Structure 1
Amino acid sequence: MTTTSPAATKPGGLRVGVQRFGTFLSGMIMPNIAAFIAWGFITMLFIAVGWLGWWHPVSDLLGGFGNADLVGWEGAMTTLAQTEDGATFPQYVGLVGPMVTYLLPLLIANTGGRMIYGERGGVVAVIATMGVIVGTNIPMFLGAMIMGPLAAWITKQMDKLWEGKIRPGFEMLVNNFSAGILGMLLAIIGFFVFGPVILGVSTFLGKVVDWLVDAQLLPLLSVVVEPAKVLFLNNAINHGVFTPLGLQQVEETGKSILFLIEANPGPGIGLLLAFSFFGVGAAKASAPGAAIIQFFGGIHEIYFPYALSKPITIIALIAGGATGVTTNMLLNGGLAFPAAPGSIIAVTAAAVAPAAGGFANLLVVYLSVVLAATVTFLLTAAFLRASHKRDLEAEGDTFGDAIAQTEANKGKSSAAMDALRTSTASAAPAATDAVPSATAVAAAPIERIVFACDAGMGSSAMGASVLRNKLKKAGIEDVNVTNQAIANLDGTADVVITQQQLTERATAKSPNSVHVSVDNFMNSPRYEEVVEMVRAQRKDTE
């Protein structure tokens, strides 16, 4: 019942380890980005300096009705002591404060716990993380990203101790009490031990960032971040360090420059524009469309193959990134909440927040994007012009090879890379992109088809949309086509479609499903075979 394909070569080494770690960290943050944005908009609108802050004086006259109820307004803001040396930072109370102090970290902890041990792990993770939060009374994002998965893992190991040993009828009693007692113990440990340790780590990292800013060395981070982006090694830094520290800076100053170190779309658009004017072959033809996706859609990975096809352009990306960071550092630019994805639209929304400085801050951020794009464009253009003749002579499938290398670096399929293949007409089906004949795999009724990828978004969503349209055109409307993360496969899907490198993992999660491996989520010939498989089965049952 499962398609067969040669095992993909599994890369090893430090890079892959960091990739997996970064993927895990981003897996905790990305599903909860909507909550971060909701908090950002509530702050943007309702605090005293927000767009609706004019209501506060009126609210006072009405006995606190309106904005005051939302943010707990008491004249200005409440200042809470945070460290033993007496250092304090301002924190809004009411709806704004509890959301960033409790809601967001607990969402992260729950997601991390579920990734390790499902719903049970998520519940214990939340209980344990609550102890860490109360013990520190600051937005404990870093603590949630550590304690959440750790608590779930401990729960998993605990359950193994009596797996298969519980007398029938006592399962619910043992499971509930064991999870409750373990959660209580971990919450206490988090309150007295883990919380203070993480608080110390967060304080240290914050002081490092402050030192870099004071010494005007923050632009040096681009030397690490920009090459790391191209190699998909940036998630561990961005989501593990920049986002938690950035949110703490938002609590202190209303904005953070850290949200723009990785998300600034300037270097990417500068690179793509240079390829649009001075590139050759498929890279030049596809660059304008890629520029629109990168700048407005926020999918930065679409420019990675261009950098890999001409590695010297990474220097231009570093220079552009450093220029953007320098601009924001000198002119005090920043974002009020993470821009995810790194679209100019998301950047605009996060930059224009009144607490961040409103339109004055937005102009600074726009300037950082323009200058970063200009520097990257000029340097990339120089590199491309210098090698133009050699590139014309050597032009073959180098850009296609760069796309393949980008997916190999990422370790999974990508909707952005599929779009590039389609636009360059280089999406030749791979030898491993195969599926048995329709009649060979159509034994069970096909009612549910699932596209699965690591995150359950992006690539799989686009693939599901393509197949859904093909089924509709074929007159087949009783098949449910959805997308989800591989980790969430529960064995109920009749057909599971994945990128080749992920098929083995999907098979382990849903062994009784028909598994179809594709190389191109956007335009795979296997979709026609799946449609024919369903159509043939419907004819057999008539």
Structure 2
Amino acid sequence: MSNMPTGMQTPSSGTNSFRAKLQAFGGFLTNMVLPNIGAFIAWGIVTALFIKTGWLPNEHLAKLVGPAIKYLLPLLLAHTGGKMVGGKRGGVMGAAGAIGLIVGADIPMFLGAMIVGPLGGLIIKKFDDFIEGHIPAGFEMLVNNFSIGILGFGLMILSYLIIGPVISAANNMLKAAIQVLVDTGMLPLLSLINEPAKVLFLNNVIDQGIYYPLGMQQAAKLGKSIYFTVASSPGPGLGLLLAYTVFGKGNAKRSAPGAIIIHFFGGIHELYFPYVLMNPLTILGMIAGGMSGIATFQFFNAGLVAGPSPGSIFAYLALTPPGNFLGIISGVLVGAAASFVVTSAILKFQQGADEEDNFEESVEQSKSMKSEGKQVLDSESNTTADSVENISKIAFACDAGAGSSAMGATTFRKKLKKQNMSDIEVKHYRIEDVPEDADIIVVHKNLQERAKMSHGDKRIIPIETYIGDPNLEKLLNELKENK
């Protein structure tokens, strides 16, 4: 593609499809966790306050810690996952299956709950589809209740005897592999995987699917866990954006200060992803920041009591147990410093070679390539790319539907209001949850393939950044002209 930033290669459609499926999987995991994050934080507060090493040690109140992590949190995850797949009946099935895991295991069954919950929803959904139209009148309630009872019984026994032991074995293998890195002091090497995965919008896969469940197990024993920090620290992103603020050019330099506030204080890490994607060499700065931060957390034996969501410095401080503030703050700052130094060196080297800033270059190219962009959009939608007639609803979509898309929707809604176009509804959603009545879907370009998988008949507008993106300005101008 002629409008790709320098250094970026056009991926194959197969690669795009695979990445989109991985992103969708990560989004699914996130949407199991996100509605229940308050319960996780509540458990973290109880742990931080009342265990023996807590702020207010209380043996009686500390009895809440064990049952909450063993029963409450896995059941909430399983119910939510089942409900996402099979509705309310799916939620009941998921919880029924999860209790078999919980009783049969000696570890908190977060990973198992995130598997059995959706499995229960899928089973009851398939059953309901199979018997639809075949239930005699008057027998609906009987069939509905006994179907969940019988299928739930079967899933409960299956979970207890087979699924639970298999998941426990897999969990122990994964935990042992990461523990080797901890014992040998090589845990920072995880940044070689974490940082590239994050900027490809796979952050939810590694956080919600791997590190947070392992962190909850460790926190239940120690009252804290370093696993909560290995991929969620706001430090490396802060360093990258500071480097662009000082040494960047054009739009990258102008937009970076605003992105710092949203990323570091708001916890929306997706804001810095485009800055890495437009200049892939800066991933070295992110890896350096991630490794330095983890090494610092290890040096101080620091950890958090629960997974920070969002990954804001405020969430970090709120979930830091007594005696860990120096280590946590140092880890974040060291990660930011390392990322800043490496990214600054990369940007200065490129400036010294008199190279154009990729961010500015891609913006200018986007402005001058309207016809090519129109062809791309036409291939993804049955709607004419330039048609904005009768637009009543615009959906901003992202992985979880609660971070970058929320910010983008709020910003664009304000712009419409200034142009007296408040009648156009602008809301944010998880990609797979965008309603059918949405006329336009706005997503980051790295999520475009995933959006196409779920909403191929919609007009999809890809963007690189939620601050001053030329495609958003183009859409706003089109709406103004149509008005």
Q: Superposed, which structure 2 residues align to 1:61-72 within 5 Å?
A: 68=60, 71=61
CA distance in 1: counterparts of 2:347 and 2:395, whole angstroms: 43
Q: Which has the larger radius of gyration?
A: 1
Counterpart position of 1:400: 362
Please say if 1:104 is aligned against 2:87. Answer: no
In the alignment, which of 202, 211, 219 is matched to residue 242 of structure 1?
Answer: 211
Aligned-partner residue type, residue 209 of structure 1: I
In the alignment, which of 28, 42, 49 is matched to residue 46 of structure 2?
Answer: 42
Q: How many residues are treated as equivalent by the alignment? A: 451
Say which SS state the counterpart of residue 336 (structure 1) adopts.
Answer: coil
1:478-498 deviations in Å (ceiling 9; x for gaps)? 99865444545676x5x5542
Q: CA deviation at 1:330?
A: 2.4
Do the aligned partners of 2:228 and 2:308 also contact (CA within 8 Å) in 1?
yes
Aligned-partner residue type, residue 346 of structure 2: F
- Unmatched 5+ residue regions in structure 1? 1-8, 57-66, 72-91, 405-424, 537-542
1:430-463 deviations in Å (ceiling 9; x for gaps)? 534847464xx48xxx7x8876655332344345
CA distance in 2: counterparts of 1:258 and 1:335, whole angstroms: 8
Do the aligned partners of 2:416 and 2:422 also contact (CA within 8 Å) in 1?
yes
In the alignment, which of 455, 468, 474 is matched to residue 400 of structure 2?
Answer: 455
In the alignment, which of 26, 29, 35 is matched to residue 31 of structure 1?
Answer: 35
Do the aligned partners of 1:470 and 1:531 also contact (CA within 8 Å) in 2?
no
Structure 1 residues 169, 525: closer, same or farther in 2, change over 3 A? farther
CA distance in 2: counterparts of 1:278 and 1:477, whole angstroms: 38
1:271-304 deviations in Å (ceiling 9; x for gaps)? 2212222222222222222222221122222222
Q: Superposed, which structure 2 residues align to 1:62-101 within 5 Å?
A: 68=60, 71=61, 92-93=62-63, 95-101=64-70
CA distance in 1: counterparts of 2:429 and 2:349, whole angstroms: 45
Please say if 1:338 is aligned against 2:307. Answer: yes
Aligned-partner residue type, residue 22 of structure 1: G
Structure 1 residues 266, 253: closer, same or farther in 2, change over 3 A? same
CA distance in 2: counterparts of 1:403 and 1:114, whole angstroms: 44
Greater relative contact order structure (CA < 8 Å, 6+ sep): 2
In the alignment, which of 370, 373, 376 is matched to residue 333 of structure 2?
Answer: 370
CA distance in 2: counterparts of 1:24 and 1:239, whole angstroms: 10
CA distance in 1: counterparts of 2:350 and 2:37, whole angstroms: 42
RMSD after superposition = 3.6
Please say if 1:148 is aligned against 2:152. Answer: no
Structure 1 residues 468, 385: closer, same or farther in 2, change over 3 A? closer
Do the aligned partners of 1:451 and 1:460 also contact (CA within 8 Å) in 2?
yes
Aligned-partner residue type, residue 272 of structure 2: Y
Structure 1 consecutive aligned stretches of length 4 or more whose deviation exceeds 6 Å: 401-404, 425-429, 470-481, 527-533
Counterpart position of 1:282: 251
1:151-201 deviations in Å (ceiling 9; x for gaps)? 222223333432332233333322221122101111112122222222222
Counterpart position of 1:165: 134
Q: CA deviation at 1:397?
A: 5.4
CA distance in 2: counterparts of 1:177 and 1:246, whole angstroms: 38
Structure 1 residues 506, 335: closer, same or farther in 2, change over 3 A? same
Q: CA deviation at 1:378?
A: 1.6
Counterpart position of 1:498: 441
Structure 1 residues 198, 402: closer, same or farther in 2, change over 3 A? farther
1:109-140 deviations in Å (ceiling 9; x for gaps)? 12222232222222211110111111114321
Deviates more, 1:454-463 or 1:225-234: 454-463
1:317-362 deviations in Å (ceiling 9; x for gaps)? 21221111111122201111111121111111112x2xxxx1x311
1:401-457 deviations in Å (ceiling 9; x for gaps)? 6999xxxxxxxxxxxxxxxxxxxx99989534847464xx48xxx7x8876655332
Say which SS state the counterpart of residue 107 (structure 2) adopts.
Answer: coil
Say which SS state the counterpart of residue 441 (structure 2) adopts.
Answer: strand
Aligned-partner residue type, residue 365 of structure 1: I
Do the aligned partners of 1:115 and 1:487 also contact (CA within 8 Å) in 2?
no
Counterpart position of 1:217: 186
CA distance in 2: counterparts of 1:96 and 1:402, whole angstroms: 55
CA distance in 1: counterparts of 2:44 and 2:364, whole angstroms: 37
- Identity among equivalent positions (%) equals 45
Counterpart position of 1:301: 270
Aligned-partner residue type, residue 378 of structure 1: V
CA distance in 1: counterparts of 2:454 and 2:183, whole angstroms: 49
Q: CA deviation at 1:250?
A: 0.1
Counterpart position of 2:380: none
CA distance in 1: counterparts of 2:454 and 2:67, whole angstroms: 39
Structure 1 residues 149, 399: closer, same or farther in 2, change over 3 A? farther
Structure 1 residues 312, 437: closer, same or farther in 2, change over 3 A? closer
Structure 1 residues 455, 220: closer, same or farther in 2, change over 3 A? closer
Aligned-partner residue type, residue 228 of structure 1: A
CA distance in 2: counterparts of 1:478 and 1:275, whole angstroms: 37
Aligned-partner residue type, residue 332 of structure 2: V
Counterpart position of 1:15: 19
CA distance in 1: counterparts of 2:114 and 2:365, whole angstroms: 32
Using the size of structure 2 for normalisation, the TM-score is: 0.81
